[in-house]
Amino acid sequence: MHAALHPLRRPRTFGLAVAALVGAVALAGCQAAEPDASDEPVAGGTLRYASGDAEPTCLDPHVGGNYPQALVATQFLESLVSLDESGEIIPWLAESWQASDDGLTWEFTLRDDVEFTDGTPFDAEAVKANVEHLKDPATQSSTGYLALGKVDRVEVVSPEVARFVLTAPDSALLESLSQPWLAIESPAGLARGMEENCQAPIGTGPFVVDGWEKQERVSLVRNDDYVSPPADAQHEGAAYLEAIDWRFIPDAASRYAALQAGQVDVIDNPQPDTAAAAEKSGDPTWIDAPRPGASNRIELNSGQAPFDDERVREAFIAAVDVNDGIDSLYFGTAERSYSPLSSAEALAYSDPDLFETDLDRANALLDEAGWAERDDDGTRVKDGERLVVRFPVSTNQSVPAEQSLFEQVQATAKEAGFDVQISLLDLSSWYGALFAHEYEIVSAPYTKVGPDVLRILYHSDSITPAPSGYFANLAQVNDPEIDALLTDAASTSDAAERADLYERAQALILGGHYLLPLYDQQNSFLVANSVHGARALPTVSTPTFYDAWIAD
């Protein structure tokens, strides 16, 4: 089921294949009819999922913390809280929570009937162990580590009550705790050490990691003792599916061919043309579930030449035309963004006027900045240096349509005298280029529930690498005014004040020409019509198959 795109006011979450509810179906005239057999969940069967995202190097999302880890970990790990489809925080492993008046302590009352699949009890000691694991530099966490930046420690009040002690108020704490990168794992599993835990993390979820055949698949089997679905799940007890065969098929055409041939049941990251065709035909179902947090954007490295000069940043943005490429390459499956934030975020602020293509202005700004000369191929030159812009692109994170869009960025920037050098890299090499600052522009997805993602991406604190080595502030923004706004927004509990602070911060980030917004982070699925009851979790839009079943 596809919800129409609407810039900056899109609901936070989207169902995958919307489940047919068990029971009578209301028909015209409010008459009830007997449900079809296909409306009744069927127990058993193996769901075959094909992912185009990079295969994780570690299945523990505490380590590093990227989206491919979240995709698979959603099936076997659970968080303290979740979100419903309206974006409200709802119970999961925590039944309730209470913040102190000063915002410096949060007490979570935990479920008392849950065990990890290794038999270890889920309790406050387990929550404490997980927070310590995430905050330990040896874990090499990035996403979880940054999200817990204000958490000093967890105190065990009782087996059922965990107290989070903060160094400063954190208005995003519950949003952060809903994410799979902060999911709760068995302390006994963590104690095995990183190498063993990376192979098969132990959670409380509806499925269990049964094996990992590298470069092929992760095998998941049902947890028959499962008791802890989030508050918005459609049933209780064990999952309907017996198993999930989680495969890695990097090539988009091969994934789609496997779906067409009935070799797999669900694929992610389809090419836009196949998604558009599915939307039209309804077979398979196209599910558009854009990620929360940041929009998909090209960031300009203001920490080094030539983009340490704002005039050159503004010239690049004025020279580049992406609208035609989005229209021609995405077949209506993506809509141009003018915001740092995803349209799934209610506090997203946009300013389209800053992104009008104006080659004359670009040329004038470059002349003013001292890049007045051109060499034989039209590239601008200053003090003997060519205006080179290195652009590393992760082939694991950019489908071919997006890579074609980047080639159009390259071509239109050339008209103003930029030599954009695109390097297509695997994920490991791409990270290496970023760590070495071997980039002038980069497109780097970053998913975090809520507008606090702006602090992660654009506060100067994030220029310093996390223990994983990753630094989230790839634009190298270092502006005290932006820092102050983001710090204040993260500390206030007043909704109106928070919205105002985030709007002002976004206006400064956009006005500083640090990024070129493109569209929401593309996150879509094609689902065979034999699959019922799957959905995207309303947190970071990862699929969950707890409620799913397969009908012949």
pLDDT digits 0-9 by tens, 468-489? 888 999 999 999 999 999 999 9
The ranges of the chain with pLDDT < 50 are 1-37
Strand order in the sheet with 385-386: 373-374, 380-382, 385-386
Cα 504 from Cα 484, distance rounded (Å): 11
The full length of the chain comes to: 552
Q: What is the pLDDT of residue 396?
A: 85
Inter-helix orientation angle 310-319/400-415, to 10°: 110
Structural domains in the chain plus CATH codes: 45-289+524-550 (3.40.190.10), 296-519 (3.10.105.10)
Distance linking the first and last C-alpha atoms of the chain? 20
- In angstroms, the CA 524 to CA 309 distance is 37
Q: In 3-state terms, what secondary structure has residue 137? A: helix
Question: Given this model, what pLDDT does residue 475 score?
Answer: 98
> What per-residue confidence (pLDDT) applies to 4?
28
Spatial distance between the Cα atoms of 316 and 347, rounded to a whole number of angstroms: 27
Long-range contacts of residues 69-72, Cβ cutoff 8 Å, at least 24 apart: 69/180, 69/181, 70/179, 70/180, 70/181, 70/447, 70/540, 70/542, 71/268, 71/542, 71/543, 72/218, 72/246
Digit-coded pLDDT (tens) for 302-329: 999 999 999 999 999 999 999 999 999 9
DSSP string, 454-504: HHHHHSGGGGSPPTTS--S-TT----HHHHHHHHHHHH---HHHHHHHHHH
Tell me which residue of 103, 80, 4 sits closest to 343, measured CA to CA. 4
| Model pLDDT, residue 468 | 87
Q: What angle do CA 51, 202, 528 make, to 5 degrees?
A: 30
Residue with tokens 């997006």: 402
Q: Alpha carbon of 220 to those of 40, 97, 247: distances in Å?
A: 24, 32, 11
Contact (CB, 8 A) for 157 and 171: no
Task: Name which of 410, 418, 392 is nearest 314 in CA terms.
Answer: 418
CB atoms within 10 A of CB 441: 27
The pLDDT assigned to 23 comes to 32
What pLDDT, on a 0 to 100 scale, did the predictor assign at position 34? 34
Q: Considering all CA atoms of the chain, what is the largest pairwise distance in Å, rounded to the nearest integer?
A: 80
Task: State the pairing for strand pair 105-110/94-99.
Answer: antiparallel
Q: Between β-strands 89-91 and 81-83, what pairing exists: parallel, antiparallel or unpaired?
A: antiparallel
The three-class DSSP label of residue 524 is strand
Amino acid type, 545: F
pTM: 0.89
140 neighbors 64 (Cβ within 8 angstroms): yes
Q: What's the pLDDT at 435?
A: 95
Bridge partners, 78 (sequence order): 184
Alpha-carbon distances of 379 from 369, 374, 413, 414, 492, rounded to whole Å: 15, 5, 10, 7, 48
Q: Which region holds residue 81: left if phi is over 0, alpha if psi is between -120 and 50, else beta?
A: beta
Q: What is the pLDDT of residue 39?
A: 77
Digit-coded pLDDT (tens) for 35-46: 344 579 999 999
DSSP state of 319: H
| Res 16: pLDDT | 36
SS (H, E, C) 139-155: HCECHHHHHCCCEEEEE
